[in-house]
Copies of this chain bind each other. A is one copy, B any other.
Amino acid sequence: MAPIVTEEHKENRRKKILESALVCFSEKGFEAATIDDIVALSGISKGSIYNYFKTKDDIYVQLMNEYTHLNFEHFKKSFRDLASVKEKIHYLFDLYKNAGGKEKAKHLLLVHGEFFLSSSRKEENHTLVLERYRNVYKRFLIDLLESGKNTGEISNTVNSDIAASFFWTMIDGICLDHAVLGANYPFSGVFEKAEEVFFQMIQ
């Protein structure tokens, strides 16, 4: 007898749970959000959720991994159409600038931010955050900058390590301030300054 439940169906349910968790964690914070909240939003039963995820923490971790992964997949795909390194960097800025208005992006930011912050208190998550920072976020930028040096678009005197860190610090800082402060924060103005400043720095 063929399996009644296809792999695809299972993956859809898994995704549905993660999506719902994202909204719940964003709205209430990880600790305050309950499994029942996720049940209510996803329409998937509690027992079922525990078939897909071992613990509430597990949902958190998989959620973070999933979206980081999707994020960079998206970056890489979009980069295929962009010729120069500068264009790519402009594209990154644009991406985050445009995300500023989207609801889902705000959810992701808050949850990412909380995960990042709280990771310093949980060995397991901390390892994950560090690993991701080094091998994904920073690596991505460093590779970009180094390739820019090779093409001559970026000055060889630039310290890629510091510039990469600086880039993400600014992006994170701006997005977070925007997510929390909302209209009280001159999002566009600061973002433009940041872009301007960053290009000065690397040329």
Give the contact stretch, choosing among A6-14, A97-105, A116-124, A145-153: A116-124
Residues in B neighbouring A173, C-beta threshold 8 A? 169-170, 172-174, 176
- CB of B184 within 8 A of CB of A177, answer no
Is residue A180 within 8 Å, beta carbon to beta carbon, of the partner chain? yes
Residues in B neighbouring A121, C-beta threshold 8 A? 27-29, 32
- Within 8 Å by CB of A166, from B116, B119, B129, B190, lies B190
Which residues of chain A (104-128) have a CB below 8 Å from chain B?
110, 113-114, 116-121, 126
Give the contact stretch, choosing among A62-70, A85-93, A192-200: A192-200
Complex Cα distance, B28 from A166, in Å, reads 28
Total count of chain A residues near the partner, CB < 8 A: 46
- CB of B27 within 8 A of CB of A29, answer no
Give the contact stretch, choosing among A15-23, A72-80, A157-165: A157-165
Is residue A168 within 8 Å, beta carbon to beta carbon, of the partner chain? yes
Instruction: Give the nearest-CB partner of A130 in chain B.
Output: B184
State whether A29 and B165 are in contact (beta carbons under 8 Å apart), knowing that A193-B201, A197-B197 are contacts in the complex. no
Binding site for B on A (CB under 8 A): 27-29, 31-32, 110, 113-114, 116-121, 126, 129-130, 133-134, 159, 161-163, 165-166, 168-170, 172-174, 176-177, 179-181, 184-186, 189-190, 193-194, 197, 200-201
Q: What are 20 sample pairs from A and B whose C-beta atoms fall under 8 A apart?
A: A29-B31, A29-B118, A31-B32, A110-B117, A110-B120, A113-B117, A116-B176, A117-B117, A129-B180, A130-B181, A133-B181, A134-B184, A161-B186, A165-B185, A166-B193, A168-B177, A169-B190, A172-B173, A173-B174, A197-B200
